[in-house]
Chains A and B, each alone.
Chain A
Amino acid sequence: MSYGGGGFDDNAGGFGSQQTPSKPRRDYDAQTLIPVTVKMLQDAQGIPGGDSNAGDMILADERPLHMVKLVGAVRTVEPKSTNIYLDIEDGTGLFNVKVYNGGQEEGNGGDPSAIQQIKAAAFQDNQYVRIIGQVKEFDGNRTLIANDIRVLASGDEFTYHFCEVAYSYEKYLKRKSQQQQMFGGGMMGYGIGNMASSGAPPPQGGNIISPSNGGGNNTVNQAVITLLQNEGANNDTGIHISEIQQILSGQGFNANDVQKAIADLSNEGHIYSTIDENHYQYAS
């Protein structure tokens, strides 16, 4: 039966056709919440070819910016009709923050009164606040668009934030170093999932370290990877755990170590389960 003249012809772009170009989906692994200082935001750069107005920015250490967490003191408060503009300083610099202030009543599109109270408590000079939001740039001016702003629960949260900034940075450097070791350089992405979707196979017998083991089971991890690469290449259903254990027992690995290695490698994204939770395949 033809629907050529009935308006449902796919060629005519009718019902069921997919002609609207879809916007590229953001990499979920890059959509993280990064604790930052004002200096880090000031030093951030737009991604070449990207749209800084859409938030396509990266930190100086190449981490992509999505959501950020900032702790600082309110220097100035400037209420406008639908937004409140704050100047926030944290000792590393001064940054402009914009908070949407719907001003509508609860139940009429506005924030619940409790949230309004929480936000209002933050809009005071010399009040230390925690802000979560996204950085946008327009005409060279950067602003942190706040999704959430609230007064610090205690002064220790202030100390904690700076420690977290350093910890997040160190964690990123460590992951970057591990990825470069595995894939011979070049960051495939910031998150774990990107290691599985890179498309670049690791070198045979590569040095794969499981962070959770601190590298202690490196050999058995490596053996599992090599087995799955070789045996699983032509097998879409993957290899059963018991078969992996049986094969590797001939190489001197006990079943418990193999099972633990499989769990660790799966958590890290190096392998994945296929038809059920007992069959695994290498994530090439």
Chain B
Amino acid sequence: MSQQPDGAFPRVNLEMIKSGNYDNMIVSLVCRLVEFNGEGIMRVECADGGAMSVQVDEGYDFVPNKIVEIMGHLQDGDTPLQHFVSRTLGEGMSLEVYNDMITTVYTNPKYKDLFNPMQV
């Protein structure tokens, strides 16, 4: 696991995960909970609409369509995200607007001094 400043993590969607730029990092994935198999693998809808698997505890408090921020370790784009912590963001949050924000503002090199130094 790469060294990251405490509290600093990239905010990603599926496209960013698949790019390989965030492998082996702790990332933030804001997503909608879609499906849980009860055995530790949860399917989520990322902010850009892509589907991603997240590895969670069997006792995870799964609520369909709930929008959460999942903090987890990303090994690579083909491996389920290893869940650490979930933070509730409500149900009415717009994933589309959030996706626009992280792709056009948060990752914009013009605002590098304002936002995440870990963001590529």
Contact = CB atoms under 8 A, between A and B. Distances in A.
B11 to A, nearest CB: 6
Interface in B48-80: 67, 69
B89 interface: yes
Contact of A92 (B7, B67, B86, B92): B7
B90 A163 contact: no
Contacts of B117: 39, 92
Given A93-B6, A93-B7, A155-B92, A39 B114 contact: yes
B87 A91 contact: no
A126 B69 CA distance: 10
B113 A61 contact: yes
Contacts of A95: 7
A169 B111 contact: yes
A13 B15 CA distance: 74
B8 A155 contact: no
B7 A162 contact: no
- 10 nearest interchain CB pairs? A155-B93, A94-B7, A155-B89, A89-B7, A94-B6, A93-B7, A155-B90, A126-B87, A159-B98, A166-B105
Given A43-B113, A159-B97, A169-B114, A38 B89 contact: no
A92 B116 contact: yes
Contacts of A155: 30, 67, 89-90, 92-93, 98
A272 B115 CA distance: 40
A61 B89 CA distance: 31
Given A128-B89, A155-B90, A162 B115 contact: yes
Interface of B: 5-11, 28, 30, 67, 69, 85-90, 92-94, 97-98, 101, 105-106, 108, 111, 113-117
Q: Determine the main DSSP class of A at the interface with B.
A: mixed
Interface in A108-148: 126-128
Given A39-B116, A128-B89, A166-B114, A91 B11 contact: yes
Contacts of B67: 155
Interface in A68-121: 73, 75, 87, 89-95
Contacts of B8: 39, 89, 91-94
Question: Which of A38, A128, A159 has the most chain B CB atoms closer than 10 A to its own CB?
Answer: A159
A128 B68 CA distance: 11
A18 to B, nearest CB: 45
Contacts of A94: 5-8
A159 B7 contact: no
Interface in A1-55: 37-40, 43
Interface residues of A, number: 31
Nearest to B92: A154
A156 interface: yes
Contact of B115 (A39, A127, A152, A158): A39
A151 to B, nearest CB: 10
A126 B7 contact: no
Nearest to B30: A155
A43 B10 CA distance: 18
Given A94-B7, A165-B114, 5 more contacts: A39-B113, A39-B116, A94-B8, A162-B106, A166-B111
B46 to A, nearest CB: 15
Contacts of B106: 162
Question: Which of A61, A89, A92, A94 has the most chain B CB atoms closer than 10 A to its own CB?
Answer: A92
B101 A163 contact: yes
A233 interface: no
A154 B116 CA distance: 22
